[in-house]
Each structure stands twice: as C-alpha cells, then as structure tokens.
Structure 1
Amino acid sequence: MSSGSRLTTTATSTSLMPAWLGLYVLLLAGFVTIFDLFVVNVAIPSMQTSLDASFAQIGYIVAGYELAFGVLLITGGRLGDLLGRRRLFVVGMAGFTVASGLCGLAPTAGFLIAARVLQGLAAALLFPQVYASIRVNFSGEDSRRAFGLLGMTLGLAAIAGQVLGGWLVHANLFGLGWRTIFLVNVPVGLFAMVAAKFIPESRASQPPVLDWRGVGLVSSALALLLVPLIEGPGHGWPAWTLWCLVAAMVLFAVFYRHEERQRRAGHQPLVDMRLLAQRRFALGAVLVLLIYSTSSSFFLCFALLMQTGLGLDPFMAGSIFAPCSVGFVVASLAAPRLIARWGTPAIAMGALVYASALGLLIAHVSLADAELMPVRLIAVLILVGIGQGFVMTPLLNLVLGFVEETQAGMASGVISTLQQIGAALGVAVVGILFATALDARADGLPLAGPYAAAFVAGMLYNLVAAALSFILLMLLARMPSFTR
C-alpha cells in the first residue's frame, strides 16, 4: 500500500464533486479485482473439463492470481506514490483488461495460468491506488463514508463472484461458457480507463525509492515455496520439489538480511523488519496468514464438491453458497459495535464460531457422504460466513492498530500482502489433502462419495487453522498494550 510519509494531493479542483465521481470509478475497480478473486471458483469444474486441466493446474489458476497480486501489492503502492496514483490506476486497469481478455481466450490450461498471473500483477498495480486515492482525497466524515462504501462494494463483489459468476457460466452466453467471467471485465475496464479522468491525481510529497532487489528476492522465495506444494503430490514428491523448498527457506533468510542492510544504510526497505520484532504485530501477522489461508481454499473445495461431486450447475452451486457471503457481510457490519465494547476477545469468539461452524460442516458432509443434500448445508454455511465476518475484517483493523502512525503505510502493505499469500498457501496445502483423499476414494461413479471425502480431508486444515487462530487471539488479548 502507500507509504507512511505525509501525503499531498495535486488535484486542481477545490470542489469535492470530481472526488465523488472519481470514487465511483475507484469502487468499480475494487469490485472487479475482488470479483475475480471469487468468481474463478465457481468456474473451476467447467475449466477443468474444457481445458483438460490437472488438479495441480487448477491450483495454479486460483493461486497464481493471488500470489502475483500479493507479491506486488507493496510495490504497486510505492509506484503510485512515486508516479501518481491516477496514472498507476490507468496503467493497472489497462493491464488488468488485457489480461482478462487473454484469460477469456485461453486455448490451454498453461496459457490460462500465465494470463492469471499477469492479471494478478496488474491488480497489484491497480488495487493499492483505490485505498490511497480515497485516503488522500477525502477527510473526516467524507472519508468514513467513502471507506464504508468501499467495504460494502468489496462484500458485494464476493457475493457476486458466487452468484453472478455462476449464472454467467451456466447461461453459456454466445457459447462461451466460463470464458464470460473474464471477458466481462473488458468493457468494464475500458469504461474505467476513460472515466479515470474524474479521479484527482495525487502522489507522495517525498516519493520513496523502490527496493527492486527485495521484490525479486521475496517473489522468488514465494514461487519456490508454492510451486512444489502444488506440483509435488501429483508427481510423487520428486527430489526437485524438496530442493525448491530448501531454496525458498534460504531466499527468505537472504531477503531478511537484505532488508536489514537497507534499513541500517538509511535506505527505505521493502519491509521494515523491526515491525516483526514487535510481538503483537508479529502475532497478528501470523493470524492474518492463518485466517486468510482458509478463504480461497474453502471456496475451491466447495465448488468442486457441489459441481463435480454432486453434479449441480454453476448457478445453483453459487446460489447454495451465497448465504455464506450474506452472513459474512452482515457480521462484518455488526462486528465494530461488539468489538468496541469487548475488544479482542470479541474477535476471538468470532474465531471460535468460525471453527465450530467448520466442524459442523465437516461432520455433516462426512456423515452424509454420497447421500449429501446441498440444501441442508445452507444453515451451517450462514454460520461459517458469520464466523468469517467477525474475524477477517476486524482482525486487519486490530493488527494495524498495533503500530505507530509513521509505520502505518508499510504495515498495511505487509498485512495486505499476507492476505493474498495466505490465500495462495491455503490453496496449495488444502489441495494436497483434497487430491490425496480423492485418489484414495477413486472408486468410480458416482462421484459424490469420493468428493465428499476429499472435501472433509481438505477442510480439516481449515478447522485446525481456525481453532489455532482462536487460541492465538486469546493469547493476544492477554498481552499488555505496551508489549512489543
């Protein structure tokens, strides 16, 4: 995200009208980037069939966008500070539009994976400008209204990704099937680029110097970590996958030393490692990684269970899942009042609700097995969404509150990056469990039984992550406020 330095705007108009018009363009951009995080899940079974994609390739299609998005988020924010946020918004939207078109026209799974990575890189340039532009162009009550609208928009994007995305795939407009979920971004992107003239230009008063070596080190380390986790199970864990994991650990260590040298030399590091020396922030960062590692993996496994396992069409599968998203939005709106009264323990209770709901869901699917009735999952899915809503968004605000104001920009970039990296890591880990269980139960048709067993195996990770998050949140609640 943007740096913590003093921000100034170069907008030429003193009227707020251009800023509010620009806000709607920013909200549109926020919608499409988050929409594309969620919509791909309902289309995965169709992609798998039409592109003859392996389970590992499916993992890349989901995780590739999230990894690329996460790795360049901090850099995207810094580039906006340096070159101008509206300019980077247009560049990012142009890249996102082109990449979306390439995704929609992809002839093979490999081509689609490459296009998804490009789409994630473009989103990383685009998305930080949404937050930063709202921050510098609005103040006071206007700022609260603008960020409130952004939160609502992102929540609606998650719901639309399931329902609207499912309808687009099922409707098979012009015979394009799943390709429409990407091609719909093209006219939206073109419109946003033209309408970007309403966004007042702004940049940092003291533009940062980019740590490109740091970007290269952390990007390489994350790739070396995730690629073997996705590829390993399907190839029997050959030696190269283990060497990649070792190399990833080495590069993470080199990245840490490089960032420390940058700081001591008086240069601005990509990540100030002193943040991680603060005990509450470090624990909060682990919590963000854990909680967000359960998000995309859950959507992916649920879509495979509903569509490939139970044979539901994409629209019906998305509609079954929609109540979970509604529960998430409602809980996100209600959470601030409870947290204002009870503090961190209220978030911990949300994690307990989340873990309990996942436990109930796992138990129901396990007991029903091949006789599973999707409609009977709606009540527990609402409870899952409520648990997520009481943890995910409030957790971000809690963790960012642990740092000094001068570190707020860098801390927000680190936390936003951990959200996406956690999601990609969760897809890789849960994918291992899901694929292993599916192979063990590959006993022919019908597919409901094997996919139910695979769903249960994958969700055991999510259950453990949610339960561990509850324990860590209770520990965090007992830490004195001055603890570093």
Structure 2
Amino acid sequence: MTPNPPPWPGLAILLLAGFVTIFDLFVVNVAIPSMQADLGASLSQIGFIVAGYELAFGVLLITGGRLGDLYGRRRLFVAGMAGFTLASLLCGLAPTVGFLIAARVAQGLAAALLFPQVYASIRVNFTGEDRQRAFGFLGMTLGLAAIAGQILGGYLVEADLLGLGWRTIFLINVPIGLIAIAAARFIPETRAPERPALDWAGVALVSLGLALLLIPLIEAPIRGGSIAAALVLTAFYYHQEHRRKTGRQPLVDMTLLRQPRFAQGGVLVLLIYSTSASFFLCFALLAQTGFGLSPFAAGRVFAPCSIAFVVLSLSAPRLVAQFGTRAIAIGALIYAAALAVLIGQVWQAGAALVVPHLIPVLIVIGGAQAMIMTPLLNLVLGFVAERQAGMASGVISTLQQVGAALGVAVVGMLFGGVLGAGPADRALYASAFVAGMGYNVGAAILATFVLLRLGRARNP
C-alpha cells in the first residue's frame, strides 16, 4: 500500500494557527500603555488582560488535546480557530476594560482548543525526517511570532490605522482566522484509536482551583483565596486518584507527580516560565509608561532579545547533547546574572536611564532563555516512560502557561506595590522595575540549583 504523501499545504495552515496563538501572548505587552490611556485600566486590570489569556490557555490545554482525540483534530482545529477569531473581534471592539478581560479569557479558552491540534496533527500526519522538518518549521514559526508580537505589534499600535490604535493588534486576527478556517480542508482529519471519556469534573476542579489561586494574587493578596484554592486543588488530587484506582483515565495521572525527577522538572518549568511573561510586562511598563517610548520604539529595543532567543535555540540542543544537564544549569546561571546586571543598570541610572542602552544585556537574557527553555521540555519529558509521554506533555504545557500567569501575578504585585508609594515619575518606575525583577532573579537562581541537583541525579 502506498503511504499518503505528507500534507505540506495543511502544515502551512497549522503553522498559521500556531503563529497567531503565540503572537497574542506577546503582542499585548507593547499595547499596554495605549490600553491604559484609552480604557483607564489599572495595573491589576492590565495583569488580568495579560494573565487571563495565559491562565485560560493553560488550564484547558489538556482538555483541548483530549477533545481532538475524541472528536477529530481538524474539527477541533476549526472550532478553536472560529472561537479564537470571534474572541479576537470582541477584544478589538471592547468598550470597557472589563469587557476586554472577558474577551481575553475567551480568546485563551479558544487557543487551548486550537493549539494542541497543531502539535497532534503534525505528529500523526508526518513521519521520519518529514516530521523533524515539520516540527523545525513550527519552532521557527513560534520564535518569529514572539518577535512579530513586539515589532509588528508596536508598528500597528503606533500607526493607528483607521484611528483604531491598540485595537488593530486583535482585529488583524480576524482575516487570518477566516483564511485558516477556509483552508482547514487541507489538514487531514485524524482521531485517537482509543478514545476514553473526558473527565469533566476534573476539568472543573483544576480550572476553579487555579483561578482561586491566581486571581486574588493579581488583584490583591487575599488569604481566603489561597485557602479555597488549596482545598479545591486537594479535591482535584483525590478525584484524579479515585479515577485512576477505579480504572478510569484521569485528566492527570498523579503517579507522574510522585516521580521525583518529573516533579522537580515540573517545578523548573513553572519557575522559568514564570519569569518570561512577567519580564515582558515589566519592561513594557518601564519603557513606555515610565520612560515614554512609543510602542514601535519599545518593540525595536526588545526585538534583539527575541532574535538572540531564536538564534541560540538552534544551538542549545547540541550543547545539551554534548554537556548534559550542566549546559542548561549554566544557561540558568547566566540568566540570573544577566537579570541582576539589568536590575543594577536600571537602579543605578534611575530617572536618567536611556532605555536603548539596555540592549546588550537584553541580548544576553534572550540567549540565556533559549539555553534553558528550548532543551528544558525535552529534558523533563525524558524522565517519564513512553506510555506516559502524552499526558506528561499536557501537564508540562499546562505548567508553562500557569507559570506565566503566576509570574505576572507575583511581579505585578511587587511592581504595583512600589508604584503606589508616590507620584508615578521615571524614578519610581525604575524602582518598581527593580522590585518586580527581584522575583525573576530569585526564580532563576532557584532553577539553577534544581538543575544542578537533577544533573547529579542523572550522572551519579
């Protein structure tokens, strides 16, 4: 029997979907000051606009993957893209900040249905070298989406097309989404051979628990919220254990989290990804709101960081193959040191800071992030048996987004705490940036120690 040729036209549509979901993770940062001015958004509301997308994206990623297995990956691709397109339209038309937050959450939920179908469709429709090439194109596309989020996003906001300002960063998704839906016929329809029922009670418990954990952090530290989150997440744990022991497939197999190396790897993913989105948020506030850079100028300052990330991503796997976990640990140590240097520069300059002077250390930060993030997922997934790889991948992908939302919550709290101490001038924004980034330095140092411990465990 002659095998079907690889569906390269379908890959182009899958890459387009991957691009817009990651683009919308990054593009919001360059539009934050414009949103604040237009909608009168507070810092905590800005945190919800950023983290709401990430949290909704994260908590339903596993569910999105399972739904694709059950009902067809192309069908879920179309449903997810339709929802993402509609939510993007609502974001672009949002009359109030509350409406925008709700639309961003809806956008994240749709992205969670859409994004898993990209990975799964590539995995099942391509084989051998074709699969490697396809995933290589995907990695390049996602890296370019991060860069475009800053440069193209900054241009769109500054160009003020048709007087729409920041709204164009969302409205641009509408024609892209319609094209992707129309061309989805080039993606072959596939389903999983085994299709167990989805654990909707587990979905509800984990979604509620994470919301109760993160929403109070973004708005204000509330002890009762943390207690409620702990209770709900504990209930989720026992619910998952009950399903496993009674022979029904859980949403998350808790035996994974009892494997010491995988659990430590999960902590690593949570730590590292908590520093990424929060860094973008704080830098946007510093450069634009604090020091008056235009969105396009701020995007150009930060773009070299993303370019360094893409370039170093190509060599990071080879370095890890040669030197093992130590290479990732060295990357984490460089990351922590570069963040500390950045903090020192901003603290020392204060109100006299010239933001473009930060470009050299931003390049080092981007390269160090690539040395950690690119090989980290492969490292952690290598700790589990092949039969658990699919569920482990879903858990790690969820931790990426939840970590990003957690970082925005914690750093936003630190940043906002300083801003509330006096008139919001340049010096105060510099001090707020230093306070917020203190968390990132601590997280990077802790990640370094965990990586060194994992390295010793693998190479006794």
Q: Indicate the TM-score class for this superposition, using the shorter chain for normalisation.
A: over 0.9
Q: Distance in 2 between matches of 1:16 and 1:59?
A: 46
| Whole-angstrom distance in 2 between the partners of 1:282 and 1:269 | 18
Structure 2 CA distance for aligned equivalents of residues 465 and 15 of structure 1: 47
Within-5 A mapping of 1:67-466: 67-232=55-220, 237=221, 241-440=222-421, 442-443=422-423, 447-466=425-444
Cα deviation for residue 365 of structure 1 reads 0.3
Matched residue count:
460
How far off its partner does 1:448 sit? 1.3
Cα distance between partner residues in 2 of 1:16 and 1:177: 44
User: For the Cα contact (< 8 Å) 2:47–2:412, is it kept in 1?
Assistant: yes
Whether contact under 8 Å (1:47, 1:178) holds in the other structure is yes
Query: Contact 1:100 / 1:186 at 8 angstroms: preserved in 2?
Result: yes
Give the whole-Å Cα distance in 1 for the aligned partners of 2:397 and 2:268.
13
Q: What is the Cα deviation at residue 50 of structure 1? A: 0.3
69-78 or 330-339, which moves further after superposition? 330-339
Deviations 1:137-165 (A, max 9, x none): 00100000000000000000000001100
- The 8 Å contact of residues 81 and 208 in structure 1, kept in 2 or not, is answered as no
| TM-superposed deviation, 1:204 | 0.3
Aligned AA (1:142): D
| 1:468 correspondence with 2:446 | yes
Deviation, structure 1 residue 375 = 1.4
User: After superposition, what is the alpha-carbon deviation per residue over 1:434-478, rounded to whole angstroms, capped at 9, x for unaligned?
Assistant: 0011112x235xx21111110000000000000110011000001
Name whichever of 409-418 and 222-231 sits farther off. 222-231
Distance in 2 (CA, whole Å) between partners of 1:309 and 1:480 is 46
Please list the CA deviations of residues 63-100 of structure 1 after superposition, one character each: whole Å capped at 9, or x if unmatched: 00000000000000000000000000000000000000
How far did 1:15 drift?
A: 3.8
Between the aligned partners of 1:205 and 1:481, the Cα distance in structure 2 is 38
The 2-side partners of 1:29 and 1:74 are apart by 18
RMSD: 1.2
Q: What is the match of residue 6 of structure 1? A: none
TM-score (norm 2): 0.99
- Describe the SS at the equivalent of 1:202: coil
How far did residue 394 of structure 1 move? 0.7
Q: Is the 8 A contact 2:317 2:374 kept in 1?
A: no
Instruction: Compute the displacement of 1:246 (Å).
Output: 0.4
Mapped to 2, the partners of 1:415 and 1:297 lie a distance apart of 19
Counterpart in 1 of 2:17?
Answer: 29
SS of the aligned residue for 2:420 comes to: helix
Aligned identity (percent) is: 69
Would the alpha carbon gap of residues 421 and 380 (structure 1) be closer, same or farther in structure 2, given more than 3 Å must change? same
2: CA distance between counterparts of 1:393 and 1:38? Answer: 18
Q: Equivalents in 2 of 1:77, 1:448: separation in Å?
A: 45
Residue by residue, what CA displacement relative to the aligned partner does 1:398-424 show, whole Å, maximum 9, x if unpaired?
A: 000110000000000000000000000
For 1:407 and 1:427, locate their aligned partners in 2 and report how far apart those are by CA, in whole Å.
Answer: 30
Q: What's the offset of the Cα at 1:242?
A: 1.8
In 1, distance between residues paired with 2:294 and 2:453? Answer: 44
Structure 1 residue aligned with 2:5: 16
CA drift of 1:244 comes to 1.5
SS in structure 2 at match of 1:203: coil
3-state SS of the aligned residue for 1:271?
coil
Contact 1:218-1:255 within 8 A present in 2 as well = yes
Give me the whole-angstrom Cα distance separating, in 1, the residues matched to 2:440 and 2:79: 37
CA contact (8 A) 1:92 1:125 kept: yes
1:14 Cα offset (Å) = 4.8
Q: CA shift at 1:209, angstroms?
A: 1.2
Structure 2 segments unaligned to the other structure (5+ residues)? none
SS in 2 for 1:208: coil
Specify the SS of the correspondent of 1:350. helix
1:55 to 31, 43, 57: 43
Describe the SS at the equivalent of 2:94: coil
Other structure's SS at 1:123 match: helix
C-alpha distance in structure 2 between counterparts of 1:75 and 1:320, whole Å: 37
Shift of 1:13: 9.8
* Structure 1 unpaired stretches of 5+: 1-11
Q: What is the rounded CA distance, in whole Å, between the counterparts of 1:225 and 1:13 in structure 2?
A: 53
Q: Which digits, 9 at most, give the CA deviation of each residue in 1:299-339, with x for residues without a partner?
A: 00000100011101000000000000011111111101111
Structure 2 Cα separation of the partners of residues 264 and 314 of structure 1: 53
Amino acid at match of 1:452: A
Mapped partners of 1:120, 1:321: distance in 2: 24
